[in-house]
Amino acid sequence: MHDILAMELWKQLLLFIPVAVVLIICAVTDWRERKVYNKITYPFAAIGLVLHTVTMGFDGTLDGLMALLAAFVIGLIMLPFGWLGGGDTKLLMGLGATLGVHALVVTVFYSIWIGAILGLGMAAYNGYLWEMIKRMGRYLRGWYRVFVYKQAFLKEKLERDERNKVPFAVAILGGVATTYTEFALAWPGFWTWYVSSLGFNP
């Protein structure tokens, strides 16, 4: 993200305007229909990689391809747990192809936190919060029995419910916006603080 913000304004706009348009469209469809459409995410990834190449040359191509692959791996890890959907993964792949690895990683960091807050807010609003806490308790109790009593398999599963499905494209939109303010305005600074606490240079 530092490299992007150091570029000429027209190059920044060439990257950020398509990202903003796609994310807003996907956030709206995910909020209303709980869907992120392939007809948007596939062209986004292809066009984003081209734009990344135009603005940063061959280095941009490599960065975009690495970020695309990284987003795919993140999706493979999170899909089985239901934390991401296929559309969300493809959206992250397009985002990575356009903005690169660093922006992708910070965006995922903030999107997870925003998604968690959004999920709790939605659960409280639709009356599902207490039931969700009870289900989570049963789920954790099942894992406790697995580890303490050496049961062969987990008998108590965390049931799926449409009321706890977070429109993660909304969280990704918030994550990208927060990533931008993190590096352009040094706000909110959580990523910088977290990375510095690990002994790395943000």
pLDDT digits (tens, 9 = 90+) for 11-70: 999 999 999 999 999 999 999 999 999 999 999 999 999 999 999 999 999 999 999 999
Question: The pTM is what?
Answer: 0.87
Say how far apart CA 159 and CA 148 lie, in whole Å: 22
Mean pLDDT of 140-168: 65
d(CA 31, CA 33): 6
Any idea how long the chain is? 202
Tokens of 2: 């530092």
Q: What is the mean pLDDT of residues 146-167?
A: 62
Q: What is the pLDDT of residue 140?
A: 75
H-type alpha helices, 79-167:
86-99, 101-125, 129-149
Q: DSSP class of residue 162?
A: G
**Which residues have C-beta within 8 Å of that of residue 176, sequence separation ≥ 6?**
19, 23, 95, 103, 107
| Stretch among 52-61, 79-88, 94-103 having the lowest mean pLDDT | 79-88
pLDDT at residue 9 greater than cutoff 90: yes
Q: Is residue 149 scored above 80 in pLDDT?
A: no
